[in-house]
A and B are shown apart, each in its own frame.
Chain A
Amino acid sequence: MAAATPPAALPQAAALTQSVDWVALTPVVIPAALAVAVLVADLFLPRGRKVLLGWLSAAGLLAAALTLIPLRDGHRSTFCQKAGGCSYAADHFTLVVQALVLGGALLTVLLSISAVGGTDEGAGRMPAGEYWFLLLSSAAGAALLPASRDLATLIVALEVTTLPAFALVGLRREDRLSSEAALKFFLTSVTATAVSLLGISFVYAATGTLNLSQVAAGLTHTPDQLHTLAKAGVALTLVGFAFKLAVAPFHFWVPDTYAGAPLPVAAYLSVVGKAAGFSGLILVTVVAFRPYTHVWGPAIGVLAALTMTVGNVGALRQRPGVPRGAVRLLAWSSIGQAGYLLVPMAAAASAGDPAHEIGTTVAYALMYAVVNLGAFAAVALVERTAPHSRLADYRGLYARRPAAALALAFFLLCLAGLPPGVIGLFAKVAVFSSAVGEQHGWLAVIMAVNVVVALVYYLRWTALLFARAPEGAQAPDAAGAAAARTPLALTAALALTAAAGVALSGAPQLVLRYAQGTLL
């Protein structure tokens, strides 16, 4: 993977050797190397054993996540220049986001195993080697992103994350919806990158550096004639990131893309894709553009309010009979949740200690990752017997599959932030608390209204799970019974997320401690 050796980090002077701290890089290198290995192994494996590739990917991601443990003191950095400043830093912020990304990718793999490759490559199936290669490449990019400390590495990592994702979205053969979704996603994303690059070039012109902390230093004393250029650069870079993050008003591609993409890919985009985007936005705003808080602070506040409102209203308008309504609802809800994630960042602009507020975003993202992936796992389970995946298919799920229904209800209530979803409640409390603490009362009030709006659709879905099943609808025939046998990987994904959600509800401190500590 090219991403592992970003060009900007190469020393420009004659000293051609650079000591590279490979230990710090392992969480990125393992998925990247594994991606290539899986692609090659795919050529030699007989068709019947391709399922092994999935388990191999899962094991690799688990190993990558385990390598975070020796790094946990958070003092390593590499690709450093003599002039000062490193391009790769494995600090606490990096490690937490990497854990989120690798864990999210791992769960995505578990969700995908039953949908990918295997014995029959019918219309709905996806080619195994390519799928795992693309997924692991994207995960490697997402793991690199939070560690990047210069703008070029950041953009490269962002592209490594998203480029394989286009292919993943369109991977389902002979599916018109899928290719349309991929095209939509591709076009918006390329536009976003172009705008970001333009912005970064402006910033580079104004400051003469790409290193994030040096950019911050450079922006404090830009020459007068370059002031406008610097401001425009900051604005354009942020617009680019806003596109990627599906922040309103750049959110329109999300519902169609999620609905058209294979389900595990939608889950991946909603969690890992968002996490990568957010860590990038945090690095750009809080580290690089820190002197311009008065520019991006209010802008992010407005975007947060807009995003959560648009997402929640969109979700509210979903009707139960629409095909793929469940995924569409989760897509709209993910837009709404992205709005909540932006709130602490808006508060960070006026905070004396931005790192504290950033920790709240990270804590919320961790909670969201666990419960959202759990919800997707439950949807994947239901989709096996009800391929249309309408919301109406969930009616009476509790009678058919009590465990899955209880788990899904728990995840939805976590997303809504109501007990028994205690962790969802306290993650929201942390976000509210950062908004109230930094005098963003108006944002807190808008968010309060949004939480109530969101409750309506989450609760409607939850109530559907426990409603009485329609008369005579359930006469499971032989085919239905075969499909109803849950694959091991899917069960594992559901059980893992449910156990994590319950554990976090009992001890919210596990994730909320990031809301208190200093991450960056």
Chain B
Amino acid sequence: MNDTALQYVLAATVALPLLGAAGALLPAPPGLRGRSPDQAVLRHGVTVTGAVLILAIVLAAGFDHDHPARMQGTTDLSWIPALRIHLHLGVDGISLPLLVLTALLTFLCALYSYFHLPAGGSAKSFVALLLLLETGTLATFAVLDLMLFFLAFETVLIPMYFLIARWGGGDRERSALRFIVYTLLGSVVMLLGLLLIGIKAGTFDMVALATDNGSHLGHSTQLIAVLAIGLGLAVKAPMWPLHSWLPDAHTAAPTAGSVLLAGVLLKMGTYGLVRIVLPDTPDGIQTFAPYLAAFAVVGIVYGSLACLQLARQGNGGDLKRLIAYSSVGHMGFVLLGIASLNPTGVNGALFANIAHGLITGLLFFLVGAVKDRYGSSDLDQLAGRTGAALYGRAPRLGGLLAFAAVASLGLPGLAGFWGEMLAMFGSFDPAAGLSRPAYLTFTAVAAFGTLLTAGYLLTVVRRICMGDKDTAELTPALPDVRGYEFAAWTPLAALTVVAGLWPAALLGLTDPAVRSLLGGH
């Protein structure tokens, strides 16, 4: 496909959900009314996200895989000359997988919600918010202008706030407010950093800034900029100790909200680090990388310990909260990979990003299904004294849960393995100028973290999937995986296997792009 066609496909991918969100608020035209207004608007959501997914697949197919380091399908229009903001879109090997992942997860969420809309508000607003969220996330990965990146980064806040506050459970309004206040505080500070870079370098263009490699920015400017931008992205990622909004938000959010929060929104933070901080301010990140790595490994261990604590019998741990904490740990590996500042580590980080999106997305779907069936996600209530015996009561659900859990703990052959492995490899031999002994320590701690991860995930599998014979034969029988659930989950499970068996498909895309971004090193 030539570049002009690719350009239109990319622009349409970003714009279509926005138009769809506006369309969802309008009354359905005659002929598309469906059985009821709710059904019509939910179908509208599935149609639009499906079309976006098809566009994303076309984009991936038309992408020139021989030159993944080159920005492709670029559009560059002047939008607000007063602030030097351009409508600059483009896709390369780093953003392409994330775009496809976003389109896929949003489509699966829309599909799942079509059959199973969470209680709380009207279907109309749910679909409109979901589509607005998709616009924001897709735009974050597609834009190449710092101010547009900020705009896209902020666009996701309002829809996610309302998804949690309206359709959530538990202490949802507080959790939603906490989520948005934390993230906004981070992103406003990030804005100051972005403005500093833009004003000092004279451009907000991410391609130009990446090519410059910070040569127009003084050392202290870079330090301040990295600190400000890094803070905003670290809240989003989330990096320990700025993660405390995450468990509450995940626990309160409805299934679709949790899936998108873990699968896509967290990636915006790490993507920003790779796309903006690494190439634009190489001197600054060189100084801060060891601290980032230290926080990352603390996050790995902290997340795993929190999960172990939640998984233990008698602690009343919530399954959703447990997976939220496991995200803190997994994102710790991503941050560690980025902090190693070498191609191996960054590639690992990007791989782990995608893998985490697939696996944790699947896990949240499964946990949501368990919660629907039992009416609770409290581990003690589910498991009782001997275990919930899901293998016996709903074998397919149990099997999938066990599959997702072992994928999450990094079993070789599944997606979770490569990213974390490469991140640790990268950190084993960090970029020149970084302290090797410190990074060796970090690697060792991270490796210890993988053991802890295996520990709590296996505990969860034992307590949820296994159990005694009496529990397994309890009546009424638990409904096993339904058709629409299969439809929503199979793609994730399949991709987890594919990415695990054929990592080169993804690494081949990211590696040249990463090498070009890290050109200064």
Contact = CB atoms under 8 A, between A and B. Distances in A.
A419 interface: yes
B82 A516 contact: yes
Interface stretch (B30-38, B178-186, B464-472, B497-505): B178-186
A448 B189 contact: yes
A81 to B, nearest CB: 36
A513 interface: yes
Nearest to A402: B25
A463 B179 CA distance: 15
Interface stretch (B157-165, B291-299, B424-432): B157-165
Interface string A443-459: 01100110110011001
Interface stretch (B146-154, B339-347, B349-357): B146-154
B125 A509 contact: no
B155 A419 contact: yes
Interface string B57-92: 000000000000000000000011111010000000
B79 A455 contact: no
Nearest to A438: B199
A418 B152 CA distance: 10
A441 B223 CA distance: 14
Nearest to B84: A516
A466 B162 contact: yes
A425 B154 CA distance: 9
Contacts of A419: 136, 151, 154-155, 157-158
A433 interface: yes
A452 B80 contact: no
Nearest to A433: B195
A437 interface: yes
Nearest to A509: B80
B184 A437 contact: no
B177 interface: yes
A514 B83 CA distance: 11
A509 B79 CA distance: 7
A433 B81 contact: no
Contacts of B162: 463, 466
Given A419-B154, A429-B147, A436 B196 contact: yes
Nearest to A467: B166
Nearest to A406: B25
A508 B81 CA distance: 10
B218 interface: no
A456 B177 contact: yes
B173 interface: yes
A420 interface: yes
B170 interface: no
Contacts of A97: none
A430 interface: yes
B300 interface: no
A463 B173 contact: yes
B192 interface: yes
Contacts of B150: 429
A281 interface: no
Contact of A456 (B165, B181, B192): B181
Interface string A484-520: 0000000000000000000000001100111110000
Interface residues of A, number: 35
Contacts of A460: 177
A459 B82 contact: no
Interface in A353-372: 363
B83 A430 contact: yes
A296 interface: no
A463 B168 CA distance: 14
A508 B80 contact: yes
Contact of B154 (A418, A509, A514): A418
A420 B132 contact: yes
A441 B191 CA distance: 12
Nearest to A513: B82
A268 interface: no
B121 interface: yes
Contacts of B189: 445, 448
Contacts of B195: 429, 432-433, 436-437
B24 to A, nearest CB: 13
Contacts of B198: 433
A455 B181 contact: yes
A422 interface: yes
B181 A448 contact: no
A509 to B, nearest CB: 5
A259 B520 CA distance: 60
Most A Cβ at <10 Å: residue of B83, B151, B195: B83
A426 interface: yes
B158 A509 contact: no
B188 interface: yes
B158 A433 contact: no
B185 to A, nearest CB: 5
B184 A512 contact: no
B180 to A, nearest CB: 7
Contacts of A437: 195, 199
Contacts of B147: 426, 429
B281 to A, nearest CB: 15
Most A Cβ at <10 Å: residue of B25, B79, B147, B192: B192
Contact of B177 (A436, A459, A512, A515): A459
B199 A513 contact: no
Given A425-B151, A455-B184, A413 B158 contact: yes
Contact of B192 (A422, A436, A512, A513): A436
A430 B80 CA distance: 11
Contacts of B177: 456, 459-460
Contact of A432 (B82, B161, B192): B192
A466 B125 contact: yes
A422 B79 CA distance: 13
Contact of A418 (B121, B158, B165): B158
Contacts of A448: 185, 188-189, 191-192
Interface string B123-157: 00100000010001000000000010011001101
A394 B196 CA distance: 40
Nearest to A451: B188
Contact of A516 (B81, B180, B188, B196): B81
A197 to B, nearest CB: 38
A456 to B, nearest CB: 6
Interface in B425-470: none
A460 B162 CA distance: 11
A432 B185 CA distance: 14
A451 B79 contact: no
Interface string B14-28: 000000000001000
Nearest to A430: B83
Most B Cβ at <10 Å: residue of A419, A448, A463: A419
Most B Cβ at <10 Å: residue of A363, A422, A441, A463: A463
Contacts of A422: 151
A441 B192 contact: yes
Contacts of A413: 158
Interface in A243-274: none
Given A418-B154, A419-B136, A466-B121, A452 B184 contact: yes
Contacts of A436: 192, 195-196, 199
Contacts of A514: 82
B224 to A, nearest CB: 8
Interface string A403-419: 00010000001000011
A444 B154 CA distance: 18
Contacts of A515: 82-83
Given A422-B151, A452-B181, A509-B80, 4 more contacts: A419-B158, A429-B195, A451-B184, A456-B177
| A-B interface, 10 closest residue pairs, ranked by CB to CB distance from nearest | A516-B82, A512-B82, A448-B188, A419-B155, A436-B195, A452-B185, A515-B82, A509-B80, A437-B199, A433-B195
21 contacts: A363-B82, A419-B151, A419-B158, A422-B151, A425-B154, A429-B195, A430-B82, A433-B195, A437-B195, A441-B192, A444-B192, A448-B185, A448-B188, A448-B191, A452-B184, A466-B162, A508-B79, A509-B79, A509-B80, A513-B81, A516-B83
